[in-house]
Amino acid sequence: MARVALLDDYQGVALSMADWKSLAPSSEVVVFKDHLADEDSVAKRLADFDIVMALRERTPFPRTLLERLPKLKLLITAGMRNASIDMKAAAERGVVVCGTAGLPYPTAELAWGLILSLMRRIPAEDRATREGRWQTSLGLGLNGKTLGVLGLGTLGSRAAKVGLAFEMDVLAWSQNLTTERAKEIGATLVPKDELLASSDIVSIHLVLGERTRGLIGARELGLMKRSAYLINTSRGPIVDEAALIRALGDGTIAGAGLDVFDEEPLPLHHPFRRLPNIVITPHLGYVTSETYRIFYGHAVEDITAYLDGKPVRVLKP
């Protein structure tokens, strides 16, 4: 009998998003709706499972954890990339790692939800209206302002095109971006410091790696306009969190829209929960019904194929 663990199903929807009954009758699927951050607790929870599905990078699988899961044979990650899995250690232990497809647009859409929420003060005005107050702030328009996009790949290019639809000027930068690629999207390639200094909104769409970890620190935040906003729907560690907290507190920048954090779920007493000039969401970029149907549907396919001896969507170190 194959025992399958589905991790971090916060909304309790995993079983309704795919045909889990199509698995072999002897298979048992167990859903965990809570998140465990302590490795000892995770190891104890998963000790008797042959197959585990990790929802994106919520639960890391470093070598130390994999070594404590002797029964684990198949590890599935939602998406085709997961930096929190030690792929080399998994391969050495004979653990097959498979992925799923995803969708290119939900995270870019959420970035614009954060931008509009900040510029038009939507969360604050929603609260004020519910409390009986009326028109408590002045919003800001987007037309004619400058959008700076860090990373003009699949997500960044979508975000840039929305900026163009709002009749914004769009600047772009990444380590490997070319002038020709930027022009294809309708953006202008500029040096990173120029983008930071010139933009009214800076939106991050970079992959977390050695070159991007801590890319936006105190120096970079200091280059931005005091009236500018920073949007991060990529990965928390791309921005120096302590430096951002200081910049938001002392008015170095006007505000931020954040969907990602150094530690997730965000700790209860984290300063981000108290700052008035930010809009925060709990890593919702990919969290849509359409995405989840792909994640869990492909997970069922991954499990079926593995049990048939013909694994699919296998990820290599």
Q: How many residues does the chain have?
A: 317
- Residues 120, 122, 127, 131: is their CA dihedral positive or negative? positive
Q: Which of 218, 222, 162, 220 is nearest to 192 (CA)?
A: 220
Span 167-194, pLDDT tens digits = 999 999 999 999 999 999 999 999 999 9
pLDDT for the residue numbered 220 = 98
pLDDT for the residue numbered 179 = 97
Return d(Cα 10, Cα 283) in angstroms, integer: 12
Residue 89 — very low, low, confident or very high, per pLDDT cuts 50/70/90? Answer: very high
The pair phi, psi for residue 66, each rounded to 5°, is -60, -35
What's the farthest any 2 CA atoms get from each other in the chain? 63
pLDDT for the residue numbered 252 = 98
Span 231-285, pLDDT tens digits = 999 999 999 999 999 999 999 999 999 999 999 999 999 999 999 999 999 999 9
Instruction: With 0.75 as the threshold, say if the pTM is over it.
Output: yes
Return d(Cα 92, Cα 99) in angstroms, integer: 18
- Residue 206 CA, chain-centre distance (Å), reads 11
Span 57-68, pLDDT tens digits = 999 999 999 999
By annotation, the residues acting in catalysis are 235, 264, 283
pLDDT for the residue numbered 25 = 83
Kind and range of the H or E run holding 31 = strand 28-31
Structure tokens at 143: 């037309």
Span 20-51, pLDDT tens digits = 999 988 899 999 999 998 999 999 999 999 99
